[in-house]
Structure 1
Amino acid sequence: MSSDDSHDTRDEEEFPAEGEAVGSEGGTREELRKTRERLEEEADKAVTEFDQSIVDLLAWLLDTETRARIYVYLRQHPDSTSDEVADGTGLYPSTVREALAELHEEGTVTRGKRENAGAGNNPYEYEAIAPSELVRGVVGDVQRELNTVFNLDDKLGGESDEDDLLGSDTAEGSAPAETEPVTITVQDADDDEE
């Protein structure tokens, strides 16, 4: 037996054929393969659920799930055309074009012409704004609505719990002072590191 033959035999011993027992634990390659597939399926499921949670949150900010899916796709694939977005999201091309036009008009996406070397069609390429910019756009509205709720008793002429505890600052018959108890500040993730 040559040294090459002994090497081949050792390889076969270290890597048994599919279905043979591996080690003393009695596990098999088939069991390892099935375990790996289960783990991959669970990881895919977790990513899908995470992606859906992001889309649900963005649908609240962007009004529809369609617009949210387009936004997520453009964050992952900047400089995409409407056809590329439609292919990547599985949405109808006409739906994508309409939503992109609205998102561009609102400032949620930017667009520029794709440069082609030859003559022909130069479609628009779209890119979504950063999430922090997206949030800044709605913060003012959310802050205003929260302050309206907090000041509801003042607007309706009732007493709030704070007035009961601290005593009212307004004199009998005078208009209540407008306060803004809610202030929302948005910072970029980079700002936190400084």
Structure 2
Amino acid sequence: MSGEPEDDTIEESELSSARERLEEGADKAIGEFDQGVVDLLAWLLDTETRARIYVYLRQHPNSTSEEVAEGTGLYPSTVREALAELHEEETVSRGKRESEGAGNNPYEYEAISPSELVSGAVGQVQSQLNAVFNLDDKLARNDDGDDDGPVTISVRDAEDDAADAEPTDGDEDASDADREDASDADREDAPENE
């Protein structure tokens, strides 16, 4: 019986060690995921600075440039310049902050949704891919040609997909019939038990 308290201590120590290793692994995975998202956004938005500002504004909408600079650790002048560019490109919207008193009302910024960001980038990517595919034609004609090409990229919101998936009154009958046909086919394909 004198060995039982030591056994409990050893088991608790092993559990604690295992828990710490799992937490470290989870932290590493989250860090790698976060860096992957930042890298993707940096590609979409041209720089890591703009990506960091975008992420901050998604987490903290209606922030001023001063708040963004403080939250991201970037220089205020860098943030103001990037916000001006992002606003011009319609990646962020801005409006005057309402305040009581006679002070200066700073702009507050809000980032567009990720689906809007991707939709905007898709047009650029599609145009560039079509330019590559049509390069020989353009060089042979020695003109600009048209922008229509073999590549078409479309982006749909998950909300749109969910709405498309909901059956309408006419769809319910068809889906019931489809299920009946599928179950009949399953019975025909099933091996007979002898």
Common fold, TM-score beyond 0.5? yes
Among 36, 48, 52, the alignment partner of 2:31 is: 48
Q: Which amino acid aligns with 1:183?
A: T
Among 111, 120, 129, the alignment partner of 1:128 is: 111
The match for 1:173 is: none
Structure 1: runs of 5+ lacking an equivalent: 1-15, 158-175
Q: Is the 8 A contact 2:63 2:108 kept in 1?
A: yes
TM-superposed CA distance for 1:66, in Å, is 0.3
Change beyond 3 A, Cα 1:104–1:177: closer
TM-superposed CA distance for 1:183, in Å, is 0.7
Cα deviation per residue 1:13-63 (whole Å; 9 max; x = unaligned)?
xxx8xxx6438xx412x4433433333332222222111111111111111
Percent of paired sites with the same residue: 74
Among 37, 62, 66, the alignment partner of 1:83 is: 66
The match for 2:179 is: none
Q: Which amino acid aligns with 1:153?
A: D
The match for 2:8 is: 22
TM-superposed CA distance for 1:186, in Å, is 1.4
The match for 1:100 is: 83
If the length of structure 1 is used for normalisation, what is the TM-score?
0.69
Cα deviation per residue 1:135-193 (whole Å; 9 max; x = unaligned)?
22222221121112222333345xxxxxxxxxxxxxxxxxx998611111111111111
CA distance in 2, matches of 1:32, 1:114: 52
Structure having the larger proportion of residues in helix: 2
Q: Is the 8 A contact 2:131 2:147 kept in 1?
A: no
Q: Which amino acid aligns with 1:60?
A: W
Check if 1:69 corresponds to 2:52.
Answer: yes
Q: Is the 8 A contact 2:65 2:83 kept in 1?
A: yes
SS at the partner of 1:120? coil
CA distance in 2, matches of 1:177, 1:125: 41
SS at the partner of 2:44? helix
Structure 2: runs of 5+ lacking an equivalent: 164-194
The match for 2:151 is: 182
Change beyond 3 A, Cα 1:178–1:32: closer
SS at the partner of 1:99? helix
The match for 2:100 is: 117
Tell me the matched-pair count: 156
Change beyond 3 A, Cα 1:37–1:109: same
Q: Which structure's CA Rg is the greater one?
A: 1
SS at the partner of 2:81? helix
Q: Which amino acid aligns with 1:64?
A: T
Cα RMSD of the aligned pairs, angstroms, is 2.6
The match for 1:192 is: 161
